[in-house]
Amino acid sequence: MLQKPKGTYDVYGSYGIKILYLENLLHALMEKYHYEYVRTPIFEASELFHRGVGETTDIVSKETYDFVDRGDRNMTLRPEGTAGVVRSYIENKMYGNPSQPVKTWYIGPMYRYERPQSGRFREFYQFGVEVFGSEDPMIDAEVISIPVNFYRMLGLKEIKVNINSLGDQESRNAYRAALLEHFKPHLDALCEDCKTRYLKNPLRILDCKVDHDLECMKNAPKISDYLNETSRHHFEKVQHYLDALNIPYQVNPNVVRGLDYYTHTVFEVEANVQGFGSQNVLCGGGRYNHLVENIGGPSTPGVGFALGFERLLTALEFEQIELEKEHLDLYVIPMEEAVKSYAFALTQDLRMNGFSVDMDYMNRNLKGNFKQADRLNASYVIIIGTTEMENDILTIKNNQTQEEYKVKHEELISFLDEHIEEEHNE
Ligand code: HAM
């Protein structure tokens, strides 16, 4: 039997209901924050990710899905959303938009050739935001507030917000020099990858999964000791604005992130529940003030984050939070062959009037149909026999209270408006 590729999964049944519910919630949240929707291709020129995410990151050096297309172009399935949105920002000249900053959001699949395990897939879904054009630390705090508010809306309690600053270019250069000096005597102990990282980008040594437990990793210099005045000031302001929003956080110098483009603020929100497993980072992001320029656009500051749906669903399960259950306003039961087209047309009509409606397509008996109505969690059931059809009077049953009503066909919509409106408000 053909099977799905390793590290991927199918969405169906109750999982589909949950995913759509979360997506709708995010959609509504983004309207409130006044961010605009963007969608970029799932594949891009490989060069974009080399320049954007960074040559020495694990994501680009080990995990991309690369292919040569039929026109001999090197293409890559996007491992993350930021680089593509930045490319689109430049290509569509959004920097010329009179209304600044440009605040965008996106949802879609991302691809990384990682070793699959709980919370880590090869195809996974991200929701993310990218904001361009403002250097104000208030925007950093706003971006951090989005996942925090979203998790709060869902009722998640066991979460921890970790923030750090990687500083500006000057601070980064000073830190880089300190790292080179620190790791020099330990080079022999480091893995082959880290030896390359030492030459190309020593900051990447800090998130090595192989050398993680070495002593020289634990006592490596911290970026916080190398922040210059401007960087320190920016970071203090971010904290000030987070305090203003009542968002609890911890300054954690170990948050360095696995992508190269960050400057100043970086953050991660983790699930803080015992037994969650090692993939407990629910979302992450930060500021990237040189990325637009590196990809060929005008110098423009940016800040964003992305959250993974799979880990979010696991966190909801861990905290036993139930999302939307399947629900149906009405289930229509035709009692015999002669009334089927009448029932079918009524079903369509009710759908066009704004109700969620399903009917029997399996010629079940009455008992079987009531079971089906329960399975679908229907609020009301409409039973149609020849008498109902001939008199144009319908029998409607409240599927919870079992109360029964006789309603004239022409009064049906106003009856349902009243009764189902009540249900929706409960
Ligand atoms: P990232 O930390 O690589 O950042 O990914 C963000 C989130 O995507 C993670 O916190 C996690 O929830 C989820 N995720 C990542 N890899 C996997 C995987 N293999 N399986 C399941 N979930 C995964 C970025 O991607 C940046 N583009 C975020 C950003 C936006 N920074 C600025 N703007």
Per-residue model confidence as pLDDT tens digits over 9-34: 999 999 999 999 999 999 999 999 99
Pocket test for ligand 1, best of 6, 124, 166 (most atoms within 8 A of CB): 124
Let me know: does 144 contact 284? Beta carbons within 8 Å. Answer: no
Q: What is the pTM of this model?
A: 0.93
Query: Which residue has the CA at smallest separation from atom 16 of ligand 1?
Result: 120
Using a 6 Å cutoff on CB, does residue 114 contact ligand 1?
yes
Instruction: Write the CA distances from 268 to 144, 151, 225, integer angstroms.
Output: 9, 13, 21
Q: Ligand 1 atom closest to Cα of 82? A: 27
Domains of the chain as residue ranges with CATH: 13-168+228-318 (3.30.930.10), 328-425 (3.40.50.800)
Rounded to the nearest whole angstrom, what is the distance from the C-alpha of residue 189 to the centroid of ligand 1?
30
| Neighbouring residues of 171: CB distance < 8 A, sequence distance ≥ 6 | 223, 226, 227, 228, 231
pLDDT band, very low/low/confident/very high, at 256 (cuts 50, 70, 90):
confident
pLDDT per position as a tens digit, 370-396? 999 999 999 999 999 999 999 999 999
Over residues 183-200, the pLDDT tens digits come to 999 999 999 989 998 988
**Cβ atoms within 10 Å of 128's Cβ, excluding its own:** 25
Model confidence pLDDT, tens digit, residues 409-425:
999 999 999 998 666 65
Distances (CA, A) of 237 to 130, 233, 254, 273: 20, 6, 20, 30
| Phi, psi (deg, nearest 5) at residue 24 | -65, -40
Is residue 390 within 8 Å of 397, Cβ to Cβ?
A: no
Q: In the predicted model, what is the mean pLDDT of residues 130-153?
A: 98
